[in-house]
Structure 1
Amino acid sequence: MTRDNIQIGMGHRSLNTRIDVYLSEVGFGLNPAQLRRARLRQIITLECASDAELASLGIRRDDILPFVFRDLLAA
């Protein structure tokens, strides 16, 4: 079994913390750890994109988490 040992910090809160806070704020009742692991690659890719690249997708940096989880949650 592979284990993710990635420590990612962006701004004042870690990316994992931001994901957990987002999922708890929208009232999602399942364990966010599985969702985070399943979508972490997409989140990291978007976090690494420039603002111009994000704009071409029609999202702002603050919209990354709602964008990634849009199929599960109505934010």
Structure 2
Amino acid sequence: MANTTIDTPRGFSWRSLAAPFLAIGRFLVLIAEAVPHAREIERLNQLSDAELAARGLTREGEVRRIMGVAAAL
């Protein structure tokens, strides 16, 4: 019976090979999540301060609501 072994260089990690692909995936997710925020901000920009005040809203408050945690950072 024959045995086969594969020697990998010391310090080699499959994670290091996958890291660029994981980073690209995270970047694409960030872009996909940003699109709805951008649409909401654009809609907010179409409203005047008087229209916002009539609704009992402030521009800053709406940006915080739309952006969620990202606006707090």
TM-score of the aligned structures, taking structure 1 as reference length: 0.40
- Bigger radius of gyration among the two: 2
Higher strand share: 1
The TM-score normalised by the length of structure 2 is: 0.40
